[in-house]
Amino acid sequence: MLGPVRSRALWTVSGLALQAAGLGVVTAFLWARLRHQGTGGHITAATFRLLWHGEIHTRSGVAVMVAGAVIYVAGSILLARPHVARPVTLFLAVPVAAMAGMAVLGLLVLVVALLFSALGDSPLPDIDLSGSGRRKAKRRRR
């Protein structure tokens, strides 16, 4: 049995920060890859699909996603520590529940993406990353 903790707030804040870091690692990696895809400066829903499919099949992509998942699970353990008294629950059930939750959310995102794809509407607007879409200020000639 694990003893009680003094400050729940410290465990909660550190757990949430670690979970955000785990998600941030994967997001930053995919965003960096997305910017260098050579799509002419525009990002569409098709670009996201190609990027995700491409990164699943590379060693670096899989390594970053696994590292992000491990960091997220560690954050879940920290988050659950003040509320769990048994080590088996903390180190076995909480990580399994965290990964299952990530899988369910991923499945939900896939279902929503397929629904939008079936309807023919893209929920993502075209995003111009090149900066060429900005309006230039008119200069007055004297």
- The DSSP code for 89 is I
pTM greater than the 0.85 cutoff: no
Q: Average of pLDDT values for 126-131?
A: 52
For the ranges 11-15, 106-110, 115-119, 121-125, which has the lowest average pLDDT? 121-125
Name the more confident of 114 and 136: 114
**Domain ranges across the chain:** 8-128
**pLDDT(124) > 80:** no
pLDDT of residue 138: 52
Chain center to CA of 90 = 24
pLDDT of residue 50: 65
| Residue-wise pLDDT tens digits, 73-93 | 999 999 999 999 899 999 999
Question: For residue 76, with 0-12 CB atoms within 10 Å meaning exposed, 13-18 middle and 19 or more buried, which class applies?
Answer: buried
| Residue-wise pLDDT tens digits, 26-37 | 888 877 777 766
User: pLDDT over 70 for what percent of the chain?
Assistant: 70
Question: For residue 39, with 0-12 CB atoms within 10 Å meaning exposed, 13-18 middle and 19 or more buried, which class applies?
Answer: middle
Given the structure tokens 């060693």, which residue do they identify? Answer: 59
**pLDDT(40) > 60:** no
pLDDT of residue 36: 67
2 Cβ contact list (under 8 Å, min separation 6): 81, 84, 85, 86, 87, 90
